[in-house]
Structure 1
């Protein structure tokens, strides 16, 4: 990218550890996996990050959290596992705690959903509501927390486990299907290619502009009225449609 590059809107992160075919296969293979009544807290421990202090406090003081840490220069605890064993680690838990390094929507959000887990997410993750509207968060059973105090996390852990148990198989299926249909690497690549095709079809224009979220620069913007010959972009699958699709999936134990 150069100072005169034309920028479009950002593309969110996604689940990139497994393909759609692999996830479908693993779900079928491990359908009877028993889940723990704990938050999965599997992270790289970066000493420079304020997150490190929270992780160690959880490890020593919060039995509701299954804390599994890796050193930044040795991630073999997790990545030496096979792809199926890594997926099974997620399937063994009913919920997970999202602890981003810097308020980002990281890949683990989508990994956890693909495993059918209930997410516990701090309110400080700025872009989360833009990607997951509050109504959708409610449907998926996502728990938001105002801070990272241990008491807050313990209360949220109990609530997340309760939600998983109450929603049961239908809730786990909904989270899995939602991630599988909307937030895999192939979805992000498809969005990028769709945008490139839209440029070729004349559906976008380039403007030198800025707003409250973007500095001055060249920005790719959709035309209010596309040329008559331009094809309309395909409609993205409604996330709520994905919620009603059912497939055999792991049950809580």
Structure 2
């Protein structure tokens, strides 16, 4: 089993968007090891919820021993989690899973929904000018993420479905022109399945390598329960997203 079971104190917990919460936890051991693309399995402090919740890491400060997660309320478990207070102790298992390869000169990160969190972590670890980030939402209220990204990005492109902020349209709609105008060495994407599928195909058409971060329901988080499997593109069975992923080469998995 990879990762550590570590209990940490919640230092910041606040609502940052529609049903979306940001939590900073003092977890020195996990923060020291965490890499962009990995996740933590969080235990909700409520005896009604036995299984942990897998949540992408949005940031880690090894010097301060702080780990940041951003999550959306999608059920009763995360609803209970949103009621936890600053000063409460929370039980986490992590860091788990594979991470994004960041050794390229120009990386384009594409994110949607809470799938923006691992792209945010990447941007915080990237060298100045190394990343262009493309994020999208239904309206201005949903792209609060724009204020969380560092100024060191090469470019930040924001799209909204209704045109209330940034470019009107879906995030993937800007990619073909971006690939034509810029030399892109790699694309990294996390978000809704259809968005990742289209992004991966656009990257392939432009002959740009693409990494995808798969989102799945996870029971154990350590490769035992088989609740998070995804199909291999070569037809040779399945991958365990929690153990073999969540980050894969787009050519390895069926999106």
Same fold (TM over 0.5): no
Q: Which has the larger radius of gyration?
A: 1
Task: State the structure with bigger RCO (CA 8 A, min sep 6), 1 or 2.
Answer: 1
More strand per residue: 2
More helix per residue: 1
